[in-house]
Amino acid sequence: MRRKVKNRNVAKADLKFNSAEVGKFINYCMWSGKKNTATQIVYRAFDAIAEKEKTENPIEVFNTALKNTAPSVEVRSRRVGGANYQVPRDVRPERRQYLSMKWIIDAARGKKGQPMHLKLADEIIAASKNDGEAVRKKENTHKMAEANKAFAHFAW
């Protein structure tokens, strides 16, 4: 079992919404240390969400999207006696949040033909409605875990 991490760096809350999740999401969107660019992309995406969904609070849509894309189980590779098994494991809450955000960002980056903030807004809206590439990724992960349930006794 993992030991507790003593001094984990906690991402600061963002300035506009004062939300720790949004601050962490901005950090995950960032490439090459360009935080201002990542912040602009995320805030423009939230503006687009508010406009498309006709809501004053795009954070609710964002939180729903995170909840809908967060996996509860995943498979980890385990080598036993010369054979590799895909062992289903429960996902820790921090990793659950990380995977959810990563899948949303990766799905948005994978689309073509639009600015990043619009692709990100579309993916967040789709995920909040239990649709989109990130939700599909979660469902595939759950199916893999279900299919390999027989190897759960190899969990360490």
Q: Is residue 20 part of a domain?
A: no
Q: Is residue 94 part of a domain?
A: yes
Residue 5 above 80 pLDDT?
Answer: no
The residue-averaged pLDDT of 11-28 equals 94
Compute the mean pLDDT over every residue in the chain, rounded to the nearest whole number. Answer: 93
Provide the domain count of the chain.
1
Q: What is the pTM of this model?
A: 0.90
Count of beta carbons in the 10 Å neighbourhood of residue 109: 14
Domain range enclosing 148: 58-154
Pairwise pLDDT comparison (106 vs 8), residue with the higher score:
106
* Band of residue 37 on the pLDDT scale cut at 50, 70, 90: very high
Extended strands (E) in 16-149: 73-80, 83-90
| Res 3: pLDDT | 81
Q: Which two three-digit tokens encode residue 122?
A: 């579309």
Q: Is residue 63 part of a domain?
A: yes
| Res 66: pLDDT | 96
For helices 116-128 and 133-147, give the axis angle rounded to 10 degrees.
50
Residue 69 above 90 pLDDT?
Answer: yes
Q: Is residue 16 part of a domain?
A: no
Q: Which two three-digit tokens encode residue 142?
A: 């759950």
| Res 4: pLDDT | 79
Q: In this predicted model, what pLDDT tens digit does every residue of 91-148 receive, in sequence order?
A: 999 999 999 999 999 999 999 999 999 999 999 999 999 999 999 999 999 999 999 8
> CA 39, CA 17: separation in Å to the nearest integer?
12
Q: Is residue 107 part of a domain?
A: yes
> CA 154, CA 129: separation in Å to the nearest integer?
36
Q: Is residue 24 part of a domain?
A: no
* Band of residue 11 on the pLDDT scale cut at 50, 70, 90: confident
Q: Is residue 44 part of a domain?
A: no
| Res 6: pLDDT | 79
How does DSSP classify residue 4? P
Q: Is residue 100 part of a domain?
A: yes
CATH number at residue 130: 1.10.455.10
